[in-house]
Amino acid sequence: MSQQSYKIIVTTHKNPDGDALGSSIAISRFLRKLGHKVSIVIPDAIPSFYLWMPDIDQAIIFDDDNALCFSIFSDADYLIATDLNSLSRNMSMSVSINNIKAFRICIDHHLDPPQNEWDILISDNNVSSTSEIIYDLLTYMDPNLIDKQIAECIYTGIYTDTNKFFHCCNCSHPYEIIAELIKKGINVNEINNLIYNSYTYDRFRLLGYSIYEKLKFIENKGVAYIKLTQKELQEFNYHPGYTEGIVSMPLSIENVNVSALISERKDHIKISLRSKAAYDVRYLAQRYFNGGGHKNASGADFYGSLDEAEKIFIEAVEEYL
């Protein structure tokens, strides 16, 4: 691939998180260095606490400019999807990708990727993050092309997908990678601050409100959950990314093993699930909400009312936990 210049689309999942952005930007920057014409297409808005990331200004948001994305899609030689195992997760965007001629490559760490969707599938669910896979791949291809900016992206993916090295990190490899990234010149402290010490006042108050006013505790099941209406989100001047992190907070309670955030979005209900190591929320997301994810961090989009989603969640807890 390095001899000729190809038109490549790099994309990732909607509601992009640190791993989605880190893995897609890192591979894009690397491929540009090899002489390819790369377009980064992100399905929807990027949270403000990731806007410092290298090359982020070059990302095209599908929701903001459908027409531009259609023309990029139809012209592409390759499509590389990172941190998602099925394009169908991106709803509206998936329709416009369905019939394009591009060769499809998936690089991801979610379980059970649909094999027939991809021409090449690089999938490993035993790693901390997709960014970890990307780092190994780029190192294999040419470690000298990994610059400080690529290193910052990889670090962001590993750091956020392990929830600040809290889970999925009881093995040495992610730490070995971080050591190499530091040698590339990244400032770990600065990145940590940019991602996690960058709440707006409104976002921080929404976190407090969610815990103090909205937390419900199903004590005999070791479950805590928070339900937020669209009106409540608007009261705190909701912006993309404002609810990120809320769902993990109840796991700090000693007897809570599973936590959920059920929040009302414009056209659907967003379900976020988190659990302590031994508990599998992926099953819950899949079985009851047609979603997916990882054993300890899963999610789904539910098309119904907020109260219906809560009812199903409570039934699921009663049945499964």
Write out the residues near Mn ion by the rule CB under 5 A.
19, 83, 129-130, 161
297, 312, 316, 317: residue in contact with ligand 5GP (rule CB under 6 A): 297
Site for ligand 5GP contains 106 (CB under 6 A) = no
Q: Closest CB to ligand 5GP among 78 and 302?
A: 302
Tokens coding 197? 């010490």
Using CB under 6 A as the binding rule, whether residue 109 contacts ligand 5GP is answered as no
Per CB under 6 A, does 157 bind ligand 5GP? no
C-beta of 29 vs 89, nearer to ligand 5GP: 89
Of 160, 272, 275, 296, the residue at the interface with ligand 5GP (CB under 6 A) is 272
Q: Nearest residue by C-beta to ligand 5GP?
A: 299
Which of these ranges, 22-30, 190-198, 290-298, 312-320, lies near ligand 5GP under the rule CB under 6 A? 290-298
Map residues 13-42 to x or -, x wherever contact with ligand 5GP holds by CB under 6 A. Answer: --x---------------------------
Q: CB-wise, 72 or 244, nearer to ligand 5GP?
A: 244
First to last CA, the chain: 49
- Least distance in Å: CB of 14 to ligand 5GP? 8
Q: Does 298 contact ligand 5GP by CB under 6 A?
A: yes
User: Which lies closer to ligand 5GP via its Cβ, residue 22 or residue 299?
Assistant: 299
Nearer CB in complex with ligand 5GP: 9/269:
269
Which one, 19 or 264, has the nearer CB to Mn ion?
19
* Among the listed residues 106, 300, 312, 317, the single contact to ligand 5GP using CB under 6 A: 300
Of 201, 210, 310, the residue nearest 250 (C-alpha): 210
Binding site for ligand 5GP (CB under 6 A): 15, 89, 110, 272, 291-294, 297-301
